[in-house]
Amino acid sequence: MRNLISLADLTPGQLARIVARAVAFGRGDVEDRPLSGRQVGVYFRKSSTRTRTSFWSGATRLGADVITFGPDELQLTTGETVEDTARVLGQYLDALVVRTNGDVEEMRRLGGSPDLAVVNALSLDEHPTQAIADLTTLSEHFGELAGRHLLVVGEGNSSGAALALAGALTPGLRVTLLCPEGYEVPKSTLDLVDELGGGDHQVRHITDPAEVDGPVDAIYTSRWQTMGVPKADPNWLAAFDGFCVDRAFFDRFGGPHTVFLHDLPAVRGQEVTDEILDGERSLAWRQAHHKMTAAMAVLEWCVVGTRD
By CB under 6 A, name the one of 17, 50, 148, 174 that touches ligand CP.
Answer: 50
Residues found in the chain: 308
CB 83 to ligand CP: min, Å: 26
User: Using CB under 6 A, which of the segments 142-150, 178-186, 259-267, 276-284 binds ligand CP?
Assistant: 259-267
Nearer to ligand CP, 3 or 51 (CB): 51
Q: From the list 264, 282, 286, 304, which residue makes contact with ligand CP (rule: CB under 6 A)?
A: 264
Local structure of 244: helix, strand or coil: coil
User: φ, ψ for residue 186 (rounded to 5)?
Assistant: -60, 145
Instruction: Label residue 31 exposed, middle or buried (CB < 10 Å: 0-12, 13-18, 19+).
Output: exposed
Distance of alpha carbon 4 from alpha carbon 183, whole angstroms = 26
Burial (CB < 10 A; 0-12, 13-18, 19+), residue 32, is: exposed
Q: Is 57 in the site for ligand CP (CB under 6 A)?
A: no
Q: Is 36 in the site for ligand CP (CB under 6 A)?
A: no
Closest by Cα among 211, 214, 103, 115 to 161: 103
Residue 221 interacting with ligand CP (CB under 6 A): no
Residue 113 or 137 having the CB closest to ligand CP: 137
**Per CB under 6 A, 48 contacts ligand CP:** yes
Closer to ligand CP by CB, 52 or 174: give it.
52
Residue 68 within binding range of ligand CP, rule CB under 6 A: no
Indicate the residue among 123 and 176 with the shorter CB distance to ligand CP: 123
CB contact set of 191 (below 8 Å; sequence gap of 6+): none
Residue from 36, 49, 75, 77 that binds ligand CP (CB under 6 A)? 49
**Smallest separation, CB 164 to ligand CP (Å):** 17
Q: Does 157 bind ligand CP (CB under 6 A)?
A: no
Name which of residues 110 to 129 contact ligand CP (CB under 6 A): 122
Task: Identify residue 114 by its one-letter amino acid code.
Answer: P
Task: For the CB of residue 214, give the shortest distance to ligand CP in the complex, in Å.
Answer: 26
Give the C-alpha separation, 165 to 170, whole Å: 9
Phi, psi (deg, nearest 5) at residue 80: -65, 145
DSSP SS3 for 203 = strand
Beta-bridge partner residues of 152: 177, 220
The answer for 122, left when phi > 0, alpha when psi is -120 to 50, beta otherwise, is: left
Q: How far is the CB of 78 from ligand CP (least distance, A)?
A: 26
H or E, element range at 144: none
Candidates 22-30, 43-51, 85-93, 199-207; binding stretch for ligand CP (CB under 6 A): 43-51
Number of residues that bind ligand CP (CB under 6 A): 9
CA distance 53 to 8: 25
223 binds ligand CP (CB under 6 A): no
* For ligand CP, the closer CB: 35 or 292: 292
Q: Would you tell me which residues interact with ligand CP (CB under 6 A)?
A: 48-51, 122, 130, 263-265
